[in-house]
């Protein structure tokens, strides 16, 4: 870690001030693009465990056009921010005054000339318009039937956008394991990225979270939950030079196995950099929102999902009809 901070070859990856080299016609994968502009093997590995791990998959599976769109997007501002009271406070605020139906999974969406019918175990909901916020992984699972079938371009966009694998491993310790001013670290081992969600909280509990997507996540998932947690603990012990480090509790969250997500973040595949536009495009009485419908630079984020919802709401309001949201 310290050597990486002192080595000039990693400056470009920290700043992402890349040379103005166009992507090949028809797009290319991000790894091939970076190598074409001069990245070494060491720089590629460093990029994989930093920027690319947060993108949701591995270098060969990410569109160079999409990745550069993310890098060059300045509207998000600098740095990352956390909601100290938890993301559920945002959901509760946005849900105030709304009729929210929980434990009501959708099995069928009938979009007809006269309206939309949504079938659930708790009955049928009807509306003039419907906003679809179903995660991409669920759309790809075919657990929800659309009648009539979605147009070919919408089906192709769903099929040609990847829902990347991702997991978090959470460890709680009885005492601090890092200096109080350090909240994150990157590792050259597996898993590659760590941060402390207890940082900034007035608490005597110490919690550290490991995060892995793409091939990192696939390798950990192959070990099983217990094996993955053990591997994560081994990496943390090595990074901190604390061979006897032992957590009070640990837990693995695998989004790929969650039936209502079936993956972590959407990823634009090489050769298909424009699928998000097709995913967002209204179809008849159906309107589309969610991180997978957000533009490059906003996709795979909470704020991207939020902005996509505002966009879909404006589309519905401009149609002059009432609507339901299906998520």
The 8-class DSSP code of residue 269 comes to P
Report whether the peptide linkage leading into residue 273 is cis, meaning its omega lies within 30 degrees of zero: no
Give the dihedral of Cα atoms 134, 138, 139, 142; nearest 10 deg.
-140
Mean pLDDT over residues 236-264, rounded?
A: 96
pLDDT tens digits, residue range 141-157?
999 999 999 999 999 99
- Is residue 325's pLDDT more than 70? no
- Can you give the residue ranges of every domain in the chain? 2-72, 88-162+265-326, 165-257
Mean pLDDT over residues 196-225, rounded?
A: 92
Specify the pLDDT at position 15. Answer: 82
Cα gap 308→79, rounded to integer Å: 21
**Burial of 5: CB neighbours in 10 Å, binned 0-12, 13-18, 19+:** exposed
Residues sharing a CB contact under 8 Å with residue 147, sequence separation 6 or more, in sequence order: 108, 109, 110, 111
pLDDT tens digits, residue range 41-80?
989 998 998 888 988 999 999 999 999 998 888 777 777 7
Specify the pLDDT at position 7. Answer: 54
pLDDT tens digits, residue range 162-173?
999 999 999 999
- Is residue 284's pLDDT more than 90? yes
Q: Burial letters for 36-70: b for 16+ Cβ neighbours within 10 Å, e otherwise?
A: eeebeeebbebbbbbbbbbbbbbbebbbbbbbbbb
In CATH, what number does 88-162+265-326 get?
3.50.50.60
Q: pLDDT over 90 for what percent of the chain?
A: 73
Within 13 Å, how many C-alpha atoms sit on residue 256's CB side?
Answer: 18
Cα gap 75→316, rounded to integer Å: 25
Q: Are 308 and 136 in contact (CB under 8 A)?
A: no
Cα gap 95→228, rounded to integer Å: 36
For domain 165-257, say whether CATH 3.40.50.1000 is its number: no
**If you average pLDDT over every residue of the chain, what do you get?**
91
Listing DSSP states for 28-63 in one string gives -BHHHHHHHTT--HHHHHHHIIIIIHHHTS-GGGSB
Least confident segment among 3-12, 215-224, 253-262: 3-12
- Is residue 1's pLDDT more than 60? no
Specify the pLDDT at position 17. Answer: 86
- Is residue 323's pLDDT more than 60? no
Specify the pLDDT at position 205. Answer: 86
Closest alpha carbon to 66 in 140, 150, 164, 135 = 164
Cβ atoms within 10 Å of 19's Cβ, excluding its own: 7
Cα gap 186→189, rounded to integer Å: 9
Specify the pLDDT at position 73. Answer: 83
Token couple for 7: 């080595």
Within 13 Å, how many C-alpha atoms sit on residue 112's CB side?
Answer: 9
Mean pLDDT over residues 117-126, rounded?
A: 96
Q: Are 109 and 145 in contact (CB under 8 A)?
A: yes
Specify the pLDDT at position 68. Answer: 94
pLDDT band at 322 (very low <50, low <70, confident <90, very high): low
pLDDT band at 84 (very low <50, low <70, confident <90, very high): confident
pLDDT band at 324 (very low <50, low <70, confident <90, very high): low
pLDDT tens digits, residue range 31-43?
999 999 999 998 9
């Amino acid at each position: 870690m310290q050597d990486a901070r002192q080595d000039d070859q990693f400056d470009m990856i920290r700043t992402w001030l890349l040379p103005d080299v166009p992507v090949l016609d028809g797009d290319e994968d991000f790894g091939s693009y970076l190598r074409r502009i001069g990245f070494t093997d060491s720089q590629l590995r460093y990029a994989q465990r930093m920027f690319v791990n947060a993108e949701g998959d591995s270098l060969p599976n990410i569109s160079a056009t999409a990745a550069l769109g993310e890098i060059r997007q300045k509207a998000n501002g600098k740095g990352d921010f956390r909601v100290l009271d938890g993301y559920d406070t945002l959901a509760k605020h946005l849900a105030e005054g709304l009729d929210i139906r929980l434990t009501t999974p959708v099995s069928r969406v009938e979009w007809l000339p006269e309206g939309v019918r949504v079938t659930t175990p708790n009955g049928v909901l009807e509306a003039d318009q419907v906003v679809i916020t179903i995660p991409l992984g669920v759309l790809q699972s075919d657990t929800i039937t659309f009648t009539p079938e979605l147009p070919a371009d919408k089906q192709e966009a769903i099929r040609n956008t990847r829902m990347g694998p991702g997991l978090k491993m959470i460890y709680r310790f009885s005492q601090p394991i890092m200096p109080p001013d350090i909240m994150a670290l990157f590792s050259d081992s597996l898993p590659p990225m760590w941060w402390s969600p207890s940082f900034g909280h007035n608490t005597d509990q110490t919690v550290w979270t490991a995060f892995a997507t793409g091939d990192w996540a696939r390798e950990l998932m192959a070990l099983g939950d217990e094996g993955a947690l053990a591997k994560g603990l081994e990496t943390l012990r090595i990074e901190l030079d604390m061979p006897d480090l032992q957590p009070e509790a640990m837990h693995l969250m695998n989004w790929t196995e969650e039936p209502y997500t079936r993956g972590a973040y959407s990823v634009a595949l090489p050769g298909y950099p424009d699928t998000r536009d097709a995913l967002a495009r209204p179809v008849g009485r159906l309107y589309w929102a969610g991180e997978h419908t957000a533009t490059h630079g906003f996709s795979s984020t909470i704020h991207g999902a939020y902005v996509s919802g505002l966009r879909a709401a404006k589309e519905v309001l401009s149609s002059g009809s009432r609507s339901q949201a299906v998520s």
